[in-house]
Structure formats: C-alpha cells, structure tokens
Amino acid sequence: MKRYVTLFFMLLFSGTVFAQGHFSTSLHGTRSGKSHWYGKANNGFELFTNTPIEELGCKNCHGPTNADGTAWDANNPYPGPSCVDCHPTGDFSKDALKVDQCYSCHGRQATEAKKMKLPDVHRDAGMKCWDCHTADDMHGDADGTTYDSMLEDGAIDVDCVDCHNTQSQTLPDHSAYDPHGGKLHCAACHAKTVISCYNCHFESVKDAHVKRAKQPINDFVLLVNRQKDGKVYPASFQSLTYQGKAFVAFGPFTPHTIMKKGRTCDECHDNAVVKEYNATGKIRFATWNAGDSTLSWKHGVVPMPFDYTSSFRMDFLTYNGNPHDPAGPSKNWSAIGKDTWDGHQMFFATPLTARQMAKLGFDTTLTGTESRNNGPTPEGFDLQQNFPNPFTPKTTFSISLPRSTVVTLKIYNQLGIEAASVIDGVRLGKGLHRLSFNAGTLNQGVYLYVLRTPEFSASRKMVILE
C-alpha cells in the first residue's frame, strides 16, 4: 500500500512539474494580452497616450495578495508572475486553490459573479474555474507555443462541446431543429449577457494608477463572427477616453452567465436594434443623460453590422474629479461631445456580413458587402470606379483582393476632410468585394474615395447629385 501511495505522489508531483515547466510561455506568465491590445504596433490606445504599458503598471498587475494571503505593498514589491499567484506555497493540489484568487486578476468574471451576482448554470452547480480549464489553459501548451491573447486560436482548449455532446448524452441533438446549421456557437444562444466596464478614464490610470470606469454594465450581448471557428459568438468592448480622445476595442467575450434554456428567435431576428438601424442607419448603443448624470444603453441582443465603424454610436465620457480620487461610484462625469471614436480595434472577430444581416431583418440596402470568393483569385489589388456614378443616394464600391488583408475605405470632401467611413480596419478575405454605400446627408458635390490596406492604396473620384 505504501508503495502505491508513494507512486501516486510521484506521478502527481511529476505531472505538476511538467505542467509548470511551460508556465513562462503561458499567458499567465507572459501577460501578453495587455500589450497586444494596448500597444502601438496593433494601433492600440498607446497611440493616444504615448506611454508604454510598462510605465502604467499594467504589465505586472496582480491581486491584492498572493495565494498565501501576503499583501503586496511598497515594502514587498511584486516580483512578477509565479506559482504563488495562484497556489499556496508548496501545495499544488486542487483543494488548495481558491476561486477568489482567480477573481483577483480576472476582474470581469469577478464582477459577473460577485458584484452583479449574475446566474450561471455551471457556477450555480458548484463548479470551479479548474473544472473546465485545462492545465494547458493555465500553465501553457506543452510544446511551448506562446499566444498574444486568450482569444487566439489554441490559447484556450476548453469548449462547450467537450462536455456537452450527443455521445455523452449531455446535449440533445440539435440537428433536427437547428435552423442555423451549426453556424452559431452555443454561447450565442445560451449566454444571458456579456458585461463591460463602461468608459475607462485613462488619466486616472496614467497619472495615478487608479482603474476608474463610469460603471459596469450588463444585460446586452453583441454578436460577431469569431475568427477561431467562424461561428457567431458573443462579444463585448472596452471604451476609453484620454485628453478628449475616444477609443474602443471590440472582441469575442466568453460570458460566465450561461442559461439552460436558449434564446427565442425574436430576441435576435427583427428585434428593436434591427428596427432602429433600418429606420435611421444607426445603432445608438449608449447615451449620456446630462440632466441626471446617468448612462442608458441598449439591452438585449445587438448584432454588429458590417458598417459598425460608422453606424455603431456610443457617448464617450470623462471624469471631472481628481485622477487620484479613490475609485468608486460617482456622478462626477460628463460627455466629451463625441459619439464616434478616434481609434478602435476589433480583434479575433469580424462583424456580421450583409447576408447574415439580411437573415436577421436588416435593410442591407443601407450598407453591406457581397463577396465572391469562389471565382478566380484576383492577380492583384484593384479599386474600381463606383457604380452608379454620379449617384443619389446609393452607390456600390468594388474592390479586388489577391489575399486576405485588413481594409479601410473612406470618403473625403474636396478640402481633404473625412466625410464618411465605409469600412475601417476590417479584415476581408481574398476575392471580389462589393461594398454598398448610402450617402445619407452628405451634400452634393465631388468627393474622393480612398482604399487603404497594409500593401496597397488607391483613390477615385465620385459625384453625389442633389
């Protein structure tokens, strides 16, 4: 018996050492996610602050204590990522782990569970983080692969179908009544809500190392196409302001707010957001109410349309107090006078296509794209003359891409001032793409439309009639 116990602990110990041997390349070890989103290299918010992430203290973020309960303070500076962030010294058993230690770094999950007290079928059943997430998720891949974000394909192993599948009889066979043909991820229907900490005040972060947002918000779900599997998936965002500049980053978001029963069709199809878009060409997601210093925002499902860079609107805010004020609820905020951003990102996801929008009830004559990727691959980049031209109020732009790339197409008046954005920093696949455009309230006259990719740029003139 003693020999078996000894063997068990040898195997347990060797497995732990093996898992921890890749910690330095794990996202817990590298903290690469923050740099990837914030850095200038990816058109992040650093472009507006000119402050490297190392000077913000974000790279070495940590909870209030280590797993032993020892607090970090000026006399006990944080030494950097290590096992003791999560594991008490010398005890690598699951019984020694504490969910609160996970929450000390994973703030959005803590907000879901502790501040907003949102229900989740897994959490309500007593499951812990490590009941789903694998050792590779937490300690790094055995082959030493490094990732830029936990949203990158391969960075997180676990998915719903690992447990919920017809073979294990833990999931009913949807094939007989799934009108989406498997194109929606489980979470698109079963996630009650995503969350966001609305409008980070970056002066507080930069000047005082204080994380300050107007407030956490929930009861909404953005829908995008997730790049890692091509399925419709929940998304959220982080909005920021600094010295009058506005920025927002969009990306897939895995909510821990899973419902047993999925959504009904009318929650997505032809819902209030779709109706607003069809009536106005816009989705006003968030509105600041100056009279009582409150924020209102869209509730329910918000499909992200292809032209979100021009149609998705949200009021950007700033904190009027001292950046060194303690963080907490406050009405000492005001709008900066912008409902569009000066810079933005959408990583690991793409907005819905015109075809998907049409299925949801969107009027895709307002904007949209049609892609032909099954024909011959174009030999080079090309921007064709818009048709019709002259026009009022609608026209179509056609662009050819010999390979997948990030595309921006904007319209400028004769003074060189940007008048409209057709698409802004959206990745399109190789092939021919037709982008429809509604001139809306633009004045009659001659305009220049400019196509930009990392490899190519071109421009042509067009005429809007009265």
Taking alpha carbons only, the member of 413, 428, 313, 300 closest to residue 368 is: 428
- The pLDDT tens digits of the residues spanning 237-254 come to 999 999 999 999 999 999
| 3-class DSSP state of 356 | helix
Percent of the chain topping pLDDT 90: 58
The CA distance from 58 to 48, in Å, is 17
CB neighbourhood size of 294 (10 A): 13
72 touches 57 (CB < 8 A): no
Longest dimension (CA), the chain: 91
- The pLDDT tens digits of the residues spanning 141-160 come to 888 899 999 999 999 989 99
Contacts of 76 by beta carbon, 8 Å cutoff, 6+ apart: 70
Higher pLDDT, 374 or 390: 390
Report the pLDDT averaged over residues 170-185. Answer: 75
- The pLDDT tens digits of the residues spanning 43-84 come to 899 999 999 998 887 766 777 888 998 887 767 777 888 889
Structure tokens, 113: 């569970």
Whether the upstream peptide bond of residue 52 has omega within 30° of 0, thus cis, is no
pLDDT the model gives residue 173: 63
pLDDT the model gives residue 2: 37
What is the pTM for the complete model shown?
0.79
Burial class of residue 191 in the structure, from the number of CB atoms within 10 Å of its CB (0-12 exposed, 13-18 middle, 19+ buried): buried
* Inter-residue long-range contacts of 180-184, CB under 8 Å, 24+ positions, other chains counted: 180/232, 182/231, 183/230, 183/231, 183/232, 184/231, 184/232
386 touches 397 (CB < 8 A): yes
pLDDT confidence bin for 267, thresholds 50/70/90: very high
Structure tokens, 234: 């929940």
pLDDT the model gives residue 430: 84
pLDDT confidence bin for 5, thresholds 50/70/90: very low
pLDDT confidence bin for 14, thresholds 50/70/90: very low
| 3-class DSSP state of 404 | coil
The CA distance from 225 to 113, in Å, is 26
362 pLDDT above the threshold of 60: yes
| 3-class DSSP state of 43 | coil
Taking alpha carbons only, the member of 375, 426, 424 closest to residue 402 is: 375
pLDDT confidence bin for 434, thresholds 50/70/90: confident
The H-or-E segment that residue 219 falls in is strand 213-226
Strands annotated E in 253-330: 283-289, 294-297, 300-303, 312-314, 317-319
- The pLDDT tens digits of the residues spanning 195-247 come to 999 999 999 999 998 999 999 999 999 999 998 998 999 999 999 999 999 99
Please give the CATH topology (third level) of the domain spanning 365-464: Immunoglobulin-like (2.60.40)
Percent of the chain topping pLDDT 70: 90
pLDDT the model gives residue 38: 93
- The pLDDT tens digits of the residues spanning 292-348 come to 999 999 999 999 998 888 889 999 999 999 999 999 999 999 999 999 999 889 889
What is the pLDDT of the chain when averaged over all its residues?
Answer: 88
Domain residue spans of the chain? 18-118+125-149, 159-361, 365-464
Taking alpha carbons only, the member of 130, 126, 263 closest to residue 192 is: 263
The CA distance from 42 to 251, in Å, is 14
Contacts of 87 by beta carbon, 8 Å cutoff, 6+ apart: 67, 96, 97
Taking alpha carbons only, the member of 55, 65, 61 closest to residue 32 is: 61
